[in-house]
Structure 1
Amino acid sequence: MRFRNISAITLFIVLVGCTSIQVQPIDRSINLKHVCIEENPKVIVADFVTVIRDGFDRHGISTEVFSGSTPDRCEYVLTYTALQSWDFSTYLSYAELRLESKGRKIASAEYRLRGKGGLSMMKWQGTKTKMDPVIDELLKAY
């Protein structure tokens, strides 16, 4: 009986530490060549924007970062948020990307560590390791 309780607790901890990725990819019919990224000063994940820009570049889409009002030349605007959690050190536990055209959402992606990663050692992986698959799914048509 005691072994069964320990097994159930272990299974619960492992399941709580799972990663959730939800992506609404960009439709192939959209001729996406350049994306403007609206700077989010509340995000403190140091390499987050660099990883996002590198991911778009990998798919042949140029990017620029702006703050304040959206430049007139920006047909496609990416907004983002990213949150860190702490467990001996900080790590990315949540990120959301939202791509819009003229104020209308055309694609989105969300990365979430359920239960902030639980006991999983993978929670300390870097931003690039976590976000590259998300960006690749978002941009799979390119």
Structure 2
Amino acid sequence: MKKIYAITACLLLVACASPVTKVEPVPATETIAQLCIKENPKVFMEDFLPEVRQQIEEHGIKTGLLSPDSICNYVLSYDAQWSWDWFWTFSVYLSMAEFSVTKDNHQIGMASYTASLGPSAIGKTKNKIRPLLIELFRK
């Protein structure tokens, strides 16, 4: 019986784990006026990219989508995944987001977010990525 209680307690602790974030900010010496964003067609949330663009533009950086004829010194690549929360809210939550900023094909900054199922995963996607983008583009 003690084993069942111990396993249950461990599972509850894992379920309540806080999201893990990692940020390597773009160096303050980099002045980014224009940032091209490499669109990721595998990210299916239609409001994700517009929200990313809006939040980056709040930092005074103009954004545009990368095209074959684009000439861009700075490029942002991203990935994101959502998972189902079958336990707390019966809804979709952002379980992973990654951003990488490159200059001339060399990474100069990155940010990542990973959340496991639990109360800390609940919330709007825009509120989950905002701290990442603030730290990524801080001066």
Going from structure 1 to structure 2, the CA distance change for 1:46 and 1:6 (only over 3 Å counts) comes to farther
Matched residues in 2 for 1:95 and 1:70: separation? 27
Contact 1:82-1:95 within 8 A present in 2 as well: yes
- 1:13 matched to 2:43? The reply is no
Question: CA-atom RMSD, angstroms?
Answer: 2.1
Going from structure 1 to structure 2, the CA distance change for 1:46 and 1:14 (only over 3 Å counts) comes to farther
Name the residue aligned to 1:76.
Answer: 74
- 1:44 matched to 2:44? The reply is yes
SS at match of 1:41: coil
TM-score by length of 2: 0.84
Q: CA deviation at 1:98?
A: 0.5
Q: CA deviation at 1:45?
A: 2.0
SS at match of 2:130: helix
Larger helix fraction of residues: 1
Matched residues in 1 for 2:35 and 2:9: separation? 44
SS at match of 1:136: helix
Name the residue aligned to 2:98.
Answer: 96
Q: CA deviation at 1:32?
A: 1.1
Name the residue aligned to 1:125.
Answer: 123
User: Any gaps of 5 or more consecutive residues in structure 1?
Assistant: none
1:43 counterpart letter in structure 2:
V
Going from structure 1 to structure 2, the CA distance change for 1:122 and 1:30 (only over 3 Å counts) comes to same
Name the residue aligned to 1:26.
Answer: 26
Give the percent of matched residue pairs that are identical in Structure 1 and Structure 2. Answer: 32
Contact 1:51-1:131 within 8 A present in 2 as well: no
Q: CA deviation at 1:14?
A: 3.0
| Number of equivalences | 134
Name the residue aligned to 1:106.
Answer: 108
SS at match of 1:40: coil
TM-score by length of 1: 0.83
